[in-house]
Each structure stands twice: as C-alpha cells, then as structure tokens.
Structure 1
C-alpha cells in the first residue's frame, strides 16, 4: 500500500512541476522593429535589451527565442556573440539595420536609457 501512496505522490509532484506554476517574465527593454524568419515587412514585436556591463545586446523574439550581440568598440555596431552566423549591418534611416540569417532587426544607433 505504501508503494501506491508514494507512486501517487510522485505523479502529483511531476504533474505540478510540468505545469510550471509560474510564468516566465517578459523580457526587459524597449520594443523594436524586426522581420523574423525571412518576413518581408518589419513589425514592432521584438524587445531590445542592453547588458552594458557585459557590453552586449539581447534581442528577444515574441516566441521567447533570442539573439545575443557583442557591442563593438566606438559605436561601430554589433557582432554575433556566439559567432555562429555572419552579421550584416548598415545605417538605414537613422537606425542600425542588422541581418543575421533570416532575421532582420532595426536597432537604435545610441544606447537606450
């Protein structure tokens, strides 16, 4: 009988752990325009977060995915923090437009407050 009780308790614990109990927090930062997965049009659905102590920027996608970039010295733009994919960038309309793979982002050219 104790085996049944412990099995029932284990099942209850596992089910409650899978439900999460708490939802993940929204990323901190400013909304920016992005065109993800090869989209033709930009939408303001990504979040721009600066990690100034690490000299990095994180761009959060609406699905929870993200890309991390290193800030280049002297405001020269960004580089992929993991180095896996080439970063193509240029100034377009006062914004830094960054392309990595099938994703494009419009970043502020100066750090956000």
Structure 2
C-alpha cells in the first residue's frame, strides 16, 4: 500500500488513470488480505472492510462475516442452489447474483458481496 501511495503523491496533476490504478491496487491488496466488500447499516456504498471466518459444523459450512465495529452475521452455505441462508436469527438472507464469481447477500440493513461459483 505504501508504494501505491508514493506513486499517487508523485503525480503533480490529478490523473484519473493514476487514481484508478491506485484504487485497483488497494482493492487487490484488501482482497488478498481476506477482506470482502460490504455496505453496512443501510449504506449503499460498498467498502472492502469486512472479513469472513469459515467453520464446518454438523449443519455444514458456516460463514461468519465480521464488521469493522465488532458486529457480525452468520450464514449457512446451502447445497440446494440458494447460496446461503441466515444461520441464526429471525431475519432471512436475500441473495442476488452479481456476477459469475460473486453474489450479494442482504441481511437486515447489511449487504455483503461474497465470492461464489454461479452455475447456469
């Protein structure tokens, strides 16, 4: 991240291509760091600030999505093509396909972009 910031600081004029490259590099670094995109508390703006823990239990694979403020949501990965469902709680998970490698999961006022393999 330091290298990309230095590159941006060396530019004397605002160049959208340089800014796009810096943003892409930061996004790649965050993805490699295990963070996913999420929009929390009703926000429409996705940021790569949430993390995921995976745990296999008697019900199957449980994903625990951690928020930067300490909050979290638990999702159960299904085997019936739905993607994920809420692992606990009264709020249902709403799943939408974003891309062939990504789904969007809304649970309450929080929305997550999760990597997935979408079968056609």
TM-score class, shorter-chain normalisation, is: 0.5 to 0.7
1:42 is matched with which residue: 40, 43, 46?
46
In structure 2, do the counterparts of structure 1 residues 100 and 55 end up closer, same or farther at CA, with 3 Å as the change threshold?
Answer: same
1:98 is matched with which residue: 98, 105, 120?
105
Structure 2 residues without counterparts, runs of 5 or longer: 1-32
Counterpart residue number, 1:85: 91
Q: Give the Å deviation of 1:47.
A: 0.3
Structural RMSD (CA): 1.7
Q: Does 1:108 align with 2:115?
A: yes
1:56 is matched with which residue: 57, 62, 79?
62
> Which structure has the higher relative contact order (CA within 8 Å, separation 6+)?
1
Equivalenced residues, count: 82
Q: TM-score, normalised by structure 1?
A: 0.66
Q: Does 1:31 align with 2:29?
A: no
Q: Give the Å deviation of 1:83.
A: 3.8
Q: Show structure 1 runs of 4+ deviating over 4 A.
A: none
In 1: Cα distance, 2:64 partner to 2:74 partner: 4
Larger Rg: 1
Structure 1 residues without counterparts, runs of 5 or longer: 1-28
